[in-house]
Chain A
């Protein structure tokens, strides 16, 4: 089965459905200061537990550089004085802001980001 790689350009990740809070996984499924991937419908969402700052981020799992489903396996960190949270794709170390989705290594790529909600030890993604 092949994932549709053009979904990036569609208005919502879940093709045809309006975004809403969807249950993703338990808080403990995502390692501290690391990421993991969840399957939501047809989509692969990377969730990052920025436990140093008590923040959660979610992005698409696909790195737009070579269309690899790998961002959740990347190393997280921050950039600059403002400590912009970021993730580095394990393939070629392109880095992306977890807030804006902008590529921070100066290329014209962008990843989609999603709001995350934590409630009673469960993670929800607005998708």
Chain B
């Protein structure tokens, strides 16, 4: 069938639901031609996460379809061109730009507009609604001159808008709510109290029971006047007091609408014209307007089913919801408000931490009816499943909110859910579908599951549950998932390290021969190399081919295939003479120079064949390897400390040098960075390092497991006011514990995050010696410290090792002819690849 005689489905509206309808219809069949008219100037975007627009996300980030999706899918999209009239008798739509488009089936997905109450002065400048990216652009522009700004509406959308005010840096942000509590549709008064307290701490001022009479001012808004004779001075007002279905086009076309708005539809989402459907927030289905995205998607599915001769119908939707509002978890599920005598209520309230949990159970205590969670909604998914699937409650139902005090987890586990339990309500994925994907398609990761079933691709709320189901199914299939290194070893890194130590194995080949299979790979080779180095501290050049490329050439490979050279500059302290040497070497070998983030100097662009000569000159001048290429100690950054600084309490530079020289060269599961600050001002940024040492009046505070990088994490306090010798002892223990137990390529921060018991456990092990390992670890560390040798010095002095640093083994003096450089600001720069 050619495109021209396929039946035509016209979709009016390209919001989230309209877009989902196109996706679903295209996925189900190719027997329709789809033509979409959208009012907004851009294709559908994620309105649910609109407030992230003020938080760094761009309009593109929020877009729902990749560029080119519509072309690829052969869906005709007219954006910025709303339909202005439907001619039902001729089955035509007229667009604003003058397109006249016949249809066979028409789908109205016109969505909703912000509900703007009829208050005098509401038209003044500085009053906005919060609905589209264009609205947000206007708000952002106006907010530049605003000190006092308020959101009218303390519901779900209003609090989202309030977050936007916070993100915009408004000095006095307010939330004004007509009802006596926040989120009146979702939570009760006690829950609202807790939420208010948490939001006030974040700087939001909350006014309840406020009925607004007028917006006052001249051309621009100046203040609001309320029914209780009070008023509030304002520069800006954002209205987010509810939604109004966009049914004007349907009214004009003579379709039936509800008395309070909304296009009337039956269970098949059909309007009174059987060729016209309405879905999403414009539809009045089973007596309700559904203002969430998941029921809208369900409606889209129903229409797709109708068009493809299915028989799905829409009979209402679970409006349970969980969100993070301004950083506070808020969830409401099942029947959140039902009270006695129809049910019994269990409430847990912790005003100190700002946590409120309420569950409603049947009078006989056998089933869960619904509830509310504020401040901690971790249990939401499983509680919602318990309601929806009528799962039996534990003998002490309070365990559901308090956690079992006997140790075992309370309530039903994910694996107890029935097969038909809906896990991802956005994409209608059941537990059975997820478990089948694991068992039959071999899916083992959340990412894989997203691709395979689309579960977790909507709001993302079900991802933890999906993760648990994957793990649970693998376990049920007898696939106990250990962190084995790779396909060649059935051991975890820690297990292999124990074996290697116990049997005193010193080469990769022997490790592979004893415990592995196959020929190894790029994962297990460097992992075993790291273990061997941590255990025996032999020069890694003895087994150079099992090292990652950087360790094999003792330098960092860079774009174009040249290497960078980083000599150690302990504590960041360097003499003028040494600086001059670095400059001279860089000039001689035509290297690009840059100061690193770790207070040293990186020399880029070295040919592999030049590395031994470069190092010979550096070593001659007193430098040694900086191990920038290794999973090893990098730098211990310092501030200048008490030697020069008028605030300094102790000599942070000397201590940093001592620590850096102690741990230099020691191989670990990942790189290690440290810092020493001479006072509380923390100029060395030590709390962003794997270990951080900060001077106090009485000694030093020791912090561990911090991280910069893509997921920054502050280091946590391990010990307070300890002397320098104790710092070293604790560091010895901490580092050996990390080296011996972490998975490959796991930084200390991640290692701690995965550790059962977390920081208090680590403290017990390191400070209290709860494992009785302290003496052994200190001894092992001392052995490593004593056996330190500069790797580069050994290479430079050994002709056989030197010989390996060539690009062509059959032409040792010839440099790689494919290397070439550009120039930038008077230095070389690698060619773009």
Contact = CB atoms under 8 A, between A and B. Distances in A.
Contact of A95 (B522, B552, B816): B522
B487 A79 contact: yes
A35 B806 CA distance: 12
A39 B520 contact: no
A76 B519 contact: yes
A53 B519 CA distance: 9
A116 to B, nearest CB: 14
Nearest to A90: B549
A75 B557 contact: no
A114 B18 CA distance: 55
A39 B520 CA distance: 28
A91 B557 contact: yes
B525 A37 contact: no
B interface, over-half SS: loop
A54 B488 CA distance: 19
A24 interface: yes
Interface in B259-277: none
B548 to A, nearest CB: 7
Interface stretch (B80-88, B771-779, B807-815): B807-815
A77 B561 contact: no
B526 interface: yes
Nearest to A75: B522
A2 B818 contact: yes
B560 interface: yes
A32 B509 CA distance: 11
Interface in A44-94: 44, 50, 52-53, 62, 66-70, 73-80, 83, 85-86, 88, 90-91, 93
Please tell me the size bucket of the interface on A. 35 or more
Contacts of B518: 77-79, 83
A73 B521 contact: no
Nearest to B808: A39
Given A3-B818, A29-B810, A93-B522, A34 B833 contact: no
B808 A77 contact: no
Given A37-B808, A77-B525, A68 B833 contact: yes
Nearest to B508: A33
Contacts of A50: 519
Contact of B548 (A31, A34, A35, A75): A75
B832 to A, nearest CB: 10
Interface string B513-545: 000001111101110000000000000000011
B98 interface: no
A62 B819 CA distance: 12
Contacts of B814: 39
Contact of A88 (B488, B521, B546, B819): B521
A37 B545 contact: no
A78 B833 contact: no
B809 A37 contact: yes
A77 B519 contact: yes
A59 B487 CA distance: 25
Contacts of B519: 33, 50, 52-53, 76-78, 83, 85
Given A2-B818, A24-B810, A39-B814, A74 B561 contact: no
Given A3-B818, A75-B546, A79-B487, A70 B521 contact: no
Nearest to B513: A52
A119 B673 CA distance: 50
A31 B544 contact: yes
Contacts of A53: 519
A36 interface: yes
Interface in A1-40: 1-3, 24-25, 29-39
Contacts of A24: 810
Contact of B820 (A2, A52, A86): A2
A38 B557 CA distance: 19
Given A73-B549, A75-B545, A90-B557, A25 B809 contact: yes
B553 interface: yes
Nearest to A55: B519
Contacts of B729: none
A98 B804 CA distance: 22
A39 B550 CA distance: 22
Nearest to A123: B810
B406 interface: no
A104 B550 CA distance: 22
B817 A3 contact: yes
Contacts of A83: 518-519
Given A69-B561, A95-B522, A32 B818 contact: no
A30 B549 contact: no
Nearest to A86: B521
A3 B552 CA distance: 25
Nearest to A53: B519
Contacts of B546: 33, 75
A85 B521 CA distance: 9
A38 B548 contact: no
Given A32-B545, A68-B561, A75-B548, A39 B810 contact: yes
Interface string B360-387: 0000000000000000000000000000
A2 B817 contact: yes
A56 to B, nearest CB: 14
B833 A67 contact: yes
Contact of A39 (B509, B560, B811): B811
A81 to B, nearest CB: 9
B487 to A, nearest CB: 7
Contacts of B520: 77-78
A34 B545 contact: yes
A79 B833 contact: no
A82 to B, nearest CB: 10
Contact of B522 (A62, A69, A70, A74): A74
Contacts of B552: 73
B611 to A, nearest CB: 13
Interface of A: 1-3, 24-25, 29-39, 44, 50, 52-53, 62, 66-70, 73-80, 83, 85-86, 88, 90-91, 93, 95
Given A1-B817, A73-B549, 7 more contacts: A38-B809, A66-B833, A68-B560, A68-B833, A69-B819, A75-B525, A95-B521
> Which 5 A-B residue pairs are closest in the complex by CB-CB distance?
A34-B545, A90-B549, A77-B521, A88-B522, A78-B519
16 contacts: A29-B810, A32-B545, A34-B545, A38-B811, A52-B509, A68-B833, A70-B561, A73-B549, A73-B552, A75-B548, A77-B520, A77-B521, A83-B518, A88-B522, A90-B550, A93-B522
